[in-house]
């Protein structure tokens, strides 16, 4: 059995927004995505996403520009994970930090997954 890298963090029980009451100073915030393949072999998928580094009123959220995206992986311990052949994996990811305005920054992240087919449900 694989060790759970994020104990208790499952895609089906994650908060949909980050309120100050659920955050702790210095906390690493995991963002989860469920990727479902309906049927057949998809083999590979490229995902592009963005994470804003400021609160909605423009205050700093606490992101450190030197860390940006810390890790990208397939969470094999998630309750929704279904990969009988254990071949789903993240092959690479790239990030850039973009200044959207004088007050707003965002992290642009692109990552590639391989080993996907219709029998799998992967939480990344």
**What pLDDT, in 10s, does the model give residues 49-97?**
988 877 777 676 666 677 778 788 887 777 777 777 778 889 999 999 8
CB 103 within 8 A of CB 95: no
Q: Report the pLDDT value the prediction gives residue 84, as an integer from 0 to 100.
A: 76
Exposed/middle/buried for residue 97 (C-beta within 10 Å: 0-12, 13-18, 19+): middle
CA distance 119 to 63: 36
The answer on pLDDT for 98 being more than 60 is yes
Q: What are the residue ranges spanned by the domains of the chain?
A: 33-123
Residue in this structure with the two tokens 């965002």, named with its chain if needed: 106
Assess contact for 41 and 118: CB atoms under 8 A: yes
pTM of the model: 0.66
Q: What is the pLDDT of the chain when averaged over all its residues?
A: 75
């Amino acid at each position: 059995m694989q060790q759970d890298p994020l104990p208790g963090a499952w895609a089906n029980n994650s908060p949909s927004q980050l309120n100050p009451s659920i955050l702790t100073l210095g906390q690493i915030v995991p963002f989860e995505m469920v990727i479902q393949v309906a049927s057949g072999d998809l083999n590979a998928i490229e995902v592009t996403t963005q994470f804003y580094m400021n609160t909605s009123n423009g205050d700093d959220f606490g992101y450190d520009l030197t860390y940006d995206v810390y890790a990208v992986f397939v969470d094999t311990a998630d309750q929704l994970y279904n990969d009988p052949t254990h071949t789903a994996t993240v092959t690479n990811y790239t990030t850039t930090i973009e200044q959207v305005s004088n007050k707003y920054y965002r992290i642009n992240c692109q990552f590639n997954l391989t080993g996907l087919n219709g029998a799998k449900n992967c939480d990344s």
